[in-house]
Amino acid sequence: MRKPLIAANWKMFLNVKEAADLAGAVCNGNTDYSKTDVMLAPSFTNITAVSEAVKSSGKPVIVAAQNVYTEESGAFTGEVSIPMIKGAGAGAVILGHSERRNVFKETDEFINAKVHKSIEAGLTVVLCVGELLQEREAGVAFEVVLAQLGKSLAGVKDLNKVVIAYEPVWAIGTGKTASPEDAQAMHAEIRRFITRIYGEHTAKSVRILYGGSVKPDNIADLMKKDDIDGALVGGASLKADSFLKIINF
């Protein structure tokens, strides 16, 4: 059985104090961690404060970075390395988010390099994939997503530390959620792809999250679907009450 994972992507929101307070409020919630894993992804500057808030709560909440660079150190102005995020308390990293792909023009090859380095460093990787609206309308959503997946995971032998997040770009921050049926169809396709490359055992254990306008009132219907194992939540994770409602779907 796959344990659900509900992950918060706080994107470029919250200052240090706001992030620490929100982490504390999430940790104070009445969550049954034997039933659900919870992850918080603050911006780089807030990882330390969020990790400390989580630690002092004693709750098994995972802290993630929203991105990372491939090199350990060096003359890479503006970049943040894996040892840096680990030192700040992150145990996981989101890679290939559509905003990284579309706004910052990250390629599958670059994402793939980061996936390798992050896994080697023992981090859990939340690998995001998802099609644009025009790709869905052109009927190529499956091809686009599977191509992103294949290239981003090229050469990765073991998916033990990998979580996949399907985030259709047209559903992110728009209030338009994919229907549970459409999301399930893509998740099933992703799982079939994983079966072909990694075998049934891995495919059955890998978690596939849905992301894109997840809210307290749509999470339960999404989670009823066989291949939806959790959510990657943006806007609705920025308030403790709505995020806790999603965690306790």
Site size for ligand 13P, by CB under 6 A? 14
Q: Does 232 bind ligand 13P (CB under 6 A)?
A: yes
For residue 191, what are its two tokens?
Answer: 């799982």
- Choosing from 108, 135, 167, 229, the residue that interacts with ligand 13P (CB under 6 A) is 167
SS (H, E, C) the chain: CCCCEEEEECCCCCCHHHHHHHHHHHHHCCCCCCCCEEEEECCHHHHHHHHHHHHHHCCCCEEEECCCCCCCCCCCCCCCCHHHHHHHCCCEEEECCHHHHHCCCCCHHHHHHHHHHHHHCCCEEEEEECCCHHHHHCCCHHHHHHHHHHHHCCCCCCCCCEEEEECCHHHCCCCCCCCHHHHHHHHHHHHHHHHHHHCHHHHHHCCEEEECCCCCCCHHHHHCCCCCCEEEECHHHCCHHHHHHHHCC
The stretch among 112-120, 132-140, 196-204, 209-217 that binds ligand 13P (CB under 6 A) is 209-217
As measured in angstroms, the least distance from the Cβ of 41 to ligand 13P is: 8
The stretch among 20-28, 31-39, 146-154, 229-237 that binds ligand 13P (CB under 6 A) is 229-237
* Residue of 97, 106, 131, 135 marked active site: 97
Site pattern 170..189 for ligand 13P (x: CB under 6 A): --xx----------------
- With contact defined as beta carbons under 8 Å apart, do 27 and 59 qualify? yes
As measured in angstroms, the least distance from the Cβ of 50 to ligand 13P is: 16
As measured in angstroms, the least distance from the Cβ of 5 to ligand 13P is: 13
Q: Does 233 bind ligand 13P (CB under 6 A)?
A: yes
201 is catalytic: no
User: Hunting for tokens 């940790």 — which residue is that?
Assistant: 27
For residue 194, what are its two tokens?
Answer: 């994983």
Q: Does 235 bind ligand 13P (CB under 6 A)?
A: yes
With CB atoms as reference, the residue minimizing the distance to ligand 13P is 234
Q: Does 9 bind ligand 13P (CB under 6 A)?
A: yes
For residue 102, what are its two tokens?
Answer: 């579309």
The stretch among 28-36, 116-124, 165-173, 182-190 that binds ligand 13P (CB under 6 A) is 165-173
97 is catalytic: yes
Q: Does 214 bind ligand 13P (CB under 6 A)?
A: yes
Distance CA 156, CA 135 (A): 27
* Residue of 106, 135, 167, 189 marked active site: 167
Q: Does 31 bind ligand 13P (CB under 6 A)?
A: no
Q: Does 211 bind ligand 13P (CB under 6 A)?
A: yes
Residues annotated as catalytic are 97, 167
Name the residues that contact ligand 13P, by CB under 6 A: 9, 97, 167, 172-173, 211-214, 232-236
